[in-house]
Amino acid sequence: MPHPTPRAQLQVWWPGPTRTELPDDSARGANGRDADARDADARLAWRVEAACKYLPTELFFPIGHGPRAQAQTSVAKAVCDACSVRTQCLDYALAANAQYGVFGGMSEEERREVRRRVGHRYELAAGGLEESA
């Protein structure tokens, strides 16, 4: 029997609603926005391509470490595995020192281990992750 798709797994493990609409960004004009806000938007533009953008945010933030949380983490990682911007997401989480949730296919424990192993601080650059001095 073939492996179920991440969406099929999601239906099994996540009984909650899924997001069907995103807020209308067309109403938000660039007028009055400072350069820092426009720069931040450019650095995070990869999010429009994210496989998770229409899924419930709660899926990527399991509570606890029991069997249900482990299953939820597995489903979140399966969504990440199929995502075209997985690297950018992981770069963002490492640069932002995200303490909770699944980002770029890694749990908080896995990201903590990466930070511990590498021993450097990171900054998000336009092309990806860079070490800061």
| pTM, two decimal places | 0.63
Give the mean model confidence (pLDDT) for residues 42-69: 90
Q: Please tell me the distance from the alpha carbon of residue 52 to that of residue 72, in angstroms, as a whole number.
A: 14
Domain that holds residue 53: 6-15+39-131
- Say if 64 falls within a structural domain: yes
> Residue 129, SS3?
strand
What are the C-alpha distances in Å from 84 to residues 24, 37, 48, 79, 126? 23, 25, 11, 10, 17
- Say if 29 falls within a structural domain: no
> Residue 33, SS3?
coil
Domain count, the chain: 1
What are the C-alpha distances in Å from 125 to residues 43, 49, 79, 120? 7, 18, 24, 15
- Say if 57 falls within a structural domain: yes
For the segment 67-80, what is each residue's pLDDT rounded down to a tens digit? 999 999 999 999 99
- Say if 1 falls within a structural domain: no
For the segment 113-125, what is each residue's pLDDT rounded down to a tens digit? 888 887 655 554 4
